[in-house]
Structure 1
Amino acid sequence: MSEHKPNIKSKELSVDLRDRIVLRHKSGEGYRKISAALNVPMSTMASIIHKWKKFETTRTLPRAGRPSKLSDQGRRAVTKNPMVTMSELQRSSVERGEPFRRTTISAAIHQSGLYGRVARRKPLLSKRHMAARLEFAKRHLKDSQTMRKKILWSDETKIELLGVNARRHVWRKPGTAHHQANTIPTVKHGGGSIMLWGCCSAAGTGRLVRIKGKMTAAMYRDILDENLLQSALDLRLGRRFIFQQDNDPKHTAKISKEWLQDNSVNVLEWPRFESD
């Protein structure tokens, strides 16, 4: 005979028990196993996990209705500075003479549809760069799939070995990860790194080359000579493939252009998107 479980509502569960439910769920345990182990009805447990996924808290949220004063203050603070930390928000509430717990502040901000997320990193762009990107996208909006599949994309990149790569958190609404205010600008320089050149197409990746020392136009031409045509061949792009490179001075140098012309490589025009 199956054991009868009491009809426990989620609001009646202790914070500790709710946290244990979420912890077991995060460790990969199934609903039935958690329900049996903690003697909590499946429906109650599902409700707690759903709330945790949506609001990132197991605490009781403020009731629906007129937004609280704290919610208004939190919304104004994070709208003005999306990267304000929870510690700063809590300290601000203490300075106003209205000290609130971190969970209370978090729940109030969630009421406004804002959630703490790790800020994405994006290249630092000026308005001129943004306009150039938009114009380029519009110009190629109607390019056929066949044409796009023939493009061999290339670039150099630095892999940081030493340096500051600390994550920053940001308060934002779902779907706004790439809004400028919610991202961390990045630039293409730094110390303690190795430089790589690589290429890829819709069919896959081409050759990857480590660049030793400071790259010159002559080194770039040699990289093309030793790797570009072979990569296109390996990816079965055919002789009439389209080569993409940015406007780095080494790419647009006379010897680089001459090599591309001598080998009849069709180069995709490329506006200056960002500082190199």
Structure 2
Amino acid sequence: MGKKGDLSNFECGIVVGARRAGLSISQSAQLLGFSRTTISRVYKEWCEKGKTSSMRQSCGRKCLVDARGQRRMGRLIQADRRATLTEITTRYNRGMQQSICEATTRTTLRRMGYNCRRPHRVPLISTTTRKKRLQFAQAHQNWTVEDWKNVAWSDESRFLLRHSDGRLRIWRKQNENMAPSCLVTTVQAGGGGVMVWGMFSWHTLGPLVPIGHRLNATAYLSIVSDHVRPFMTTMYPSSDSYFHQDNAPCHKARIISNWFLEHDNEFTVLKWPPQSPDLNPIEHLWDVVERELRALDVHPTNLHQLQDAILSIWANISKECFQHPTESMPRRIKAVLKAKGGQ
């Protein structure tokens, strides 16, 4: 039985060689295991065109979207990243003599390298914020992993008892995940559920403190005095460490600034650019906690159960989960430099 698929150039060469050696079509087919039709077609093409490539490569239905059509479809994607498959198909068919279906649109987009993905959620960065982020990256571009190991990271996060995932999709190529038109900007906002404050360094996880009310300057002063100072003096007795906090209003209150000034001989507060959660490694830990919460076999049904689950997940975070984000800081700094302060 002859082959059904295309022959390779080597196999076509064997066919031509057998025929030129004086073997008949039937003898060549019996010797090589190809059909008589295949032997005849390959040898005829070689005699007429001097080629040994299979003519079957040009068989099949003609593509409805040629190179020009792909450029047209690419412009539609660039104009509206959030367009649905139906919308793209409808817009493409306007003014075209031959219309296509949604299946053809999907196949064409995949052939062009586009996939439907959820957009990255990033902070809304103003021009002033961009400059401050760039200045921070320039000031720390020579810091090594060993330098970042001396930083203790902290932040607050809120975990909702019930959450809803956005179903927004965009069309993008693999290397366009951080293109401006492929992003969805977010702002820091509250929600509901349980709010916690936590800290960690490369060496170990720090405490996780539930916040049962709105975090103000007085409550935050209690946290830094009861948890930050013991952690810093224990982990960094040589007083060469840095404590990180973002620019939340309660962090910048006068009583907080005065407290840090009183203890500046024990550790230094890292000057942090605004709107920069993408630089904070603790965001990776919040993501781990969130994913572990969603993966629970029995989901919390009240805030008390939710708080217990969060504390349990935090206590069992592996060392790799909090060491690798710290080790990624040099790469994050380089990324901000490359983006000139952008996301």
Query: 1:221 Cα shift?
Result: 0.6
The answer for the alignment partner of 1:159 in structure 2 is 159
- Relative distance call for 1:62 and 1:172 in structure 2 (3 A) is farther
Question: Structure 1 residue 267 and structure 2 residue 269: aligned?
Answer: yes
Give how far 1:94 is off. Answer: 5.3
Following superposition, the deviation at residue 152 of structure 1 comes to 0.7
Partner of residue 132, structure 2: 132
CA distance in 2, matches of 1:157, 1:215: 11
Tell me, in whole angstroms, the C-alpha distance in 1 between the residues paired with 2:100 and 2:199.
53
Structure with bigger helix share is 2
Q: Residues 17-44 of structure 1, C-alpha deviation per residue, up to 9 Å, x if partnerless?
A: xxxxxxxxxxxxxxxxxxxxxxxxxxxx
Q: Give distance in 2, aligned partners of 1:9 and 1:188.
A: 58
In 1, Cα distance between the equivalents of 2:251 and 2:190? 21
Whether the 8 Å CA contact 2:133–2:276 is kept in 1: the answer is no
The 1:217/1:121 distance shift into structure 2, 3 A limit, reads same
| Counterpart residue number, 2:74 | 75
Tell me whether 90-99 or 72-81 shows the greater mean CA deviation. Answer: 90-99
Structure 1 window deviating more from structure 2 (216-225 vs 241-250): it is 241-250
Residue 258 (str. 1) matches residue 258 (str. 2) = yes
TM-score by length of 1: 0.69
Residues 186-234 of structure 1, C-alpha deviation per residue, up to 9 Å, x if partnerless? 2211432322211122224311111111111010010111211333356
**Is 1:89–2:88 an aligned residue pair?**
yes
Q: Which amino acid aligns with 2:273?
A: P
Matched-pair contact (CA < 8 Å) for 1:132–1:271: yes
Identify if the C-alpha distance between structure 1 residues 105 and 266 changes in structure 2 by more than 3 Å, giving closer, same or farther: same
CA distance, structure 1, for counterparts of residue 232 and residue 223 of structure 2: 14
Which one has a bigger Cα radius of gyration? 2
* CA displacement at 1:266 relative to structure 2: 0.9
Alpha-carbon separation, structure 1, partners of 2:276 and 2:61: 44
Q: Distance in 1 between matches of 2:228 and 2:269?
A: 12
Secondary structure of 2:224's counterpart equals helix
Q: Could you say if the C-alpha distance between residues 75 and 258 of structure 1 is closer, same or farther in structure 2, counting changes exceeding 3 Å?
A: same
Structure with more strand by fraction: 1
Superposition deviation, residue 82 in structure 1: 1.4
Report if the CA contact (8 A) 2:158-2:192 is conserved.
no
Distance 1:9 1:133, change over 3 A: farther
Provide the residue aligned with 1:114 in structure 2: 114
Query: Partner letter of residue 271 of structure 2?
Result: E
Q: Secondary structure at the match of 1:199?
A: strand
**Cα distance in 2, alignment partners of residues 259 and 105 from structure 1:** 61
Number of corresponding residues: 220
Aligned sequence identity (%): 25
Q: Which has the higher contact order (CA 8 A, sep 6+)?
A: 2
* Aligned AA (1:83): R
Shift of 1:93: 4.1
The aligned residue for residue 177 of structure 1 is 177
CA distance in 1, matches of 2:164, 2:213: 22
Name the Cα RMSD after superposition: 3.1
1:205 aligned to 2:198?
Answer: no
Report the CA distance between 1:237 and its aligned residue.
3.3
Task: Tell me whether 104-113 or 244-253 shows the greater mean CA deviation.
Answer: 104-113
Q: Which residue of 1 aligns with 2:13?
A: none
Shift of 1:151: 0.6
